[in-house]
């Protein structure tokens, strides 16, 4: 009688312990694949952002180059005339072009290049942080899925050994109903 009571007590303790462990939330194995796909999608998003940034830069350079080519020499000539400087286009043309290009680089390309580098570095830094977080999350999910699978296998063998599989199934069903 004492042996059967002890066996019954062991079974009851095992059922309670197993129910507590089985009641834990499980992470679906598909979550690892979804997290890996998220990483790939983030890389595509980064590449697209950099492409848009490159297009913005190229359009801006083209716009300012055309604007300077169209208006730069005339503005310099107007300023020279206003300042009373005589200008011979046949002799001073090379100096005029050099002066226009210096102003163009200083006033337009310098700030444009700085903005481009700043935006590019920001995109890359944000992407690096996001990908680092995604890689850590994917590794965590992979570990949790592996632990879940090993836990389920261990619990199954313990339940079979203790012959409490039916009791455990009923407890799991009740816990799932409570959780809903």
Q: Are 75 and 20 in contact (CB under 8 A)?
A: no
Q: Are 51 and 110 in contact (CB under 8 A)?
A: no
Q: Residue 166, Cβ neighbours under 10 Å: how many? A: 9
What mean pLDDT is reported for the chain? 77
Quick one: average pLDDT of 115-130? 94
Quick one: average pLDDT of 161-168? 62
pLDDT reported for residue 40: 94
d(CA 30, CA 8): 39
Angle (CA) 9 11 13, round 5°: 70
The tally of domains found in the chain comes to: 1
d(CA 29, CA 40): 18
With 70 as the cut, is the pLDDT of residue 39 above it? yes
Q: Which domain holds residue 23?
A: 2-179
Mean pLDDT lowest for which of 2-16, 39-53, 91-105, 140-154? 2-16
d(CA 165, CA 171): 10
Decide which of 22 and 128 is more confident. 128
Q: Are 127 and 42 in contact (CB under 8 A)?
A: yes
Q: Which residue has the tokens 């042996």?
A: 3
Quick one: average pLDDT of 161-174? 64
Quick one: average pLDDT of 44-59? 95
Structure tokens at 90: 């046949």
Closest CA to 154 of 11, 36, 17: 17
Quick one: average pLDDT of 98-110? 78
With 80 as the cut, is the pLDDT of residue 112 above it? yes
Quick one: average pLDDT of 64-74? 73
Size of the chain, expressed as the number of residues it contains: 180
Q: Collapse the DSSP code of 83 into the 3-class scheme (helix H, G, I; strand E, B; otherwise coil) and give the result.
A: coil
User: What are the helix (H) ranges across 83-109?
Assistant: 89-104
Q: Are 134 and 39 in contact (CB under 8 A)?
A: yes
Mean pLDDT lowest for which of 15-19, 28-32, 129-133, 171-175? 15-19
pLDDT reported for residue 136: 93
Q: What is the pTM of this model?
A: 0.59
Q: Where are the beta strands (DSSP E) in 2-154?
A: none
With 90 as the cut, is the pLDDT of residue 117 above it? yes
């Amino acid at each position: 009688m004492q042996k059967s009571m002890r066996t019954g007590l062991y079974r009851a303790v095992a059922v309670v312990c197993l129910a507590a462990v089985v009641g834990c939330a499980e992470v679906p194995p598909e979550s690892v694949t979804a997290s890996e796909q998220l990483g790939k999608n983030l890389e595509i998003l980064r590449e697209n952002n950099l492409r848009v940034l490159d297009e913005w830069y190229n359009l801006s350079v083209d716009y300012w180059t055309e604007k300077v080519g169209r208006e730069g020499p005339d503005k310099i000539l107007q300023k020279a005339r206003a300042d009373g400087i005589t200008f011979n286009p046949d002799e001073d043309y090379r100096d005029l072009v050099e002066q226009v290009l210096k102003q163009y680089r200083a006033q337009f390309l310098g700030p444009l290049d700085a903005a481009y580098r700043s935006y590019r570095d920001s995109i890359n830094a944000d992407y690096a942080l996001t990908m680092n977080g995604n890689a850590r999350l994917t590794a965590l999910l992979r570990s949790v899925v592996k632990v879940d699978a090993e836990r389920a296998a261990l619990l199954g063998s313990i339940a079979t050994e203790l012959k409490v599989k039916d009791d455990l199934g009923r407890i799991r069903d009740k816990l799932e109903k409570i959780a809903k």
